[in-house]
Amino acid sequence: MRPREFLCLALGYGSALVRACGGHSHEVREWTQEELDELEMKWGHEWGFSGISTFAHLEYHKCLTTPSELFDIAIIGAPFDTAVSYRPGARFGPRAIRAASARQTSFRGYNPRANINPYANWAKILDCGDIPVVPMDNGMALKQMTAAFTELGARPPVSPLLARPKLITLGGDHSLSLPALRAMRAIYGPVRVLHFDAHLDTWHPAKYPSYWSSDQSRFTHGSMFWLAGAEGLLSNASAAPNVHAGLRTRLSGTDDWDDDDAQNWLRISADDVDDVGTKGIVDAIMGALGTEDPVYLSVDIDVLDPAFAPGTGTPEPGGWTTRELIRVLRGIEGLNIVGADVVEVAPAYQGVGEETALAAAQVVFELLSSMVKKGLEEMGKTGKAGLEVQGDVAKDEL
């Protein structure tokens, strides 16, 4: 028998064997909704320590590659840290914050101070994954982040309560606020900024002494608000200032304050909390920003004392406690927050208990609660959201 005839015979025998023994495997079963619901009840539950590591076990979509995926609030990571002036490592921040959010779930997400569960309310909240930011070229990274924020922010929301969806960015170093504000400008015009940080971050790029300067070197995690002001991204009305809170850094000199004043910023120092308490900080912020103007809220985790957040790139002793920051965030829930970021979490420098990432995850939870509650108020609703109930069984967690 010739080789070709033998091969054809062998292939024909194999096909007949598959048809005889396995043909029935091609049948597709039709599942009833009742059966699917039962499977969900049996296997759909996730403990805090189980499942894929999305923020708060939220539904995950790679939103930048699925343009038809809509949301009201998106969690988006920006793993970028090559614009830092001291310790790198914040590129691992989004991953660390997501892991630290593991005990936040929709069935145990009720926030008593806000009287809502942000994960089981009107807003569709997604984890949209990360922007694949190039680590070798800061100029290109800036373009990437600007394009990503602009595209995501321009999508129509799911809920009629919003004109545009809101983004909460997990950093990443603080320079990402510049591309985020560029995207905000395209939607809202110049916005006002509430900036929690140990540092001003309004430094003129020339304040970094170096013979070797370039256009790219101007873009840093300490100059991005100066650049934003120069580009007209921030409010410049004297009656509508932007606000720093938690400041305590060393300066080049008092002319740093002059530059900051010229850019329309109000400064609240870390020490002020000792004199006026968290209520005084809240009153100062709300008195400056009000409840109507669109506000971009940026939290550098180094606003906290290194005792509470050592995992950061430029730690400064003398900062606020985690409890003080959370109390202030809860007090400013009336702000019209249109976007936010939580930045400078560098997990390589934190302890084994993840205290820095845990603080950052709690900050995100507080911001989500405020955004969702603000939406309810705009809808004319108060009252209780309570726990999400599936069937007759309310989920709970140990």
State pLDDT tens for residues 33-79: 999 999 999 998 888 888 899 999 999 999 999 999 999 999 999 99
What's the CA gap between 196 and 215, in Å, rounded? 27
Q: How far is CA 303 from its chain centroid?
A: 17
* Site of tokens 């370039």: 214
Tokens at 296, concatenated: 């971009």
Q: Which helix (H) or strand (E) holds 90?
A: none
pLDDT of residue 219: 82
Residue 324's alpha-carbon distances to 18, 136, 279, 331, in angstroms, are 68, 38, 10, 11
pLDDT of residue 256: 87
**DSSP string covering 277-319:** HHHHHHHHHHHHH-SSSEEEEEEEGGGB-TTT---SSS--SS-
Between strands 192-196 and 294-300, the pairing is: parallel
Is the full-model pTM beyond 0.75? yes
Q: Which residues of the chain have pLDDT under 50?
A: 7-11, 13, 16-18, 20-21, 382-398
pLDDT of residue 151: 97
pLDDT of residue 396: 37
pLDDT of residue 324: 98
State pLDDT tens for residues 122-161: 999 999 999 999 999 999 999 999 999 999 999 999 999 9
pLDDT of residue 145: 97
